[in-house]
Amino acid sequence: MDRRALRRRPQAVRVQGGFTDEEEALEYGQAQLYEIRHGLHVSKRAGAVLMTDWLDEWLAALDHAHLTEKSYRRRAASYTG
């Protein structure tokens, strides 16, 4: 028996992302490309995490000396206000 045949799935199973069929997925993709080309696209992750929150998490995860953290926080404050 051909192993590739065992791995094949029906077309409907391969459709992902909550689309009902391939045509719907294609239309969605074309709409996304239109938005990108015309400067209208907003990433789903845009603004998902505030920069200040991300910096706090990043600094907490680092293993560094106190003065290094102080320096990093001073630099970050110049960007975040």
Note whether 81 and 56 are within 8 A (CB).
Answer: no
Residue-range domain boundaries for the chain? 3-37, 51-80
State the number of CA atoms in the 13 A half-sphere of 64 facing the CB: 13
User: pLDDT of 7-36, one tens digit each?
Assistant: 554 444 445 578 888 899 899 999 999 998
What span, in angstroms and rounded, lies between the C-alpha atoms of 62 and 54? 13
| CA–CA dist 67, 25 (Å, integer) | 52
- Rounded Cα–Cα distance for residues 40 and 7 (Å): 39
Residue tagged 């045509």 (tokens): 23
3-state helix, strand, coil in the chain (%, to 5): 65, 0, 35
pLDDT in tens, 31-42: 999 998 988 887
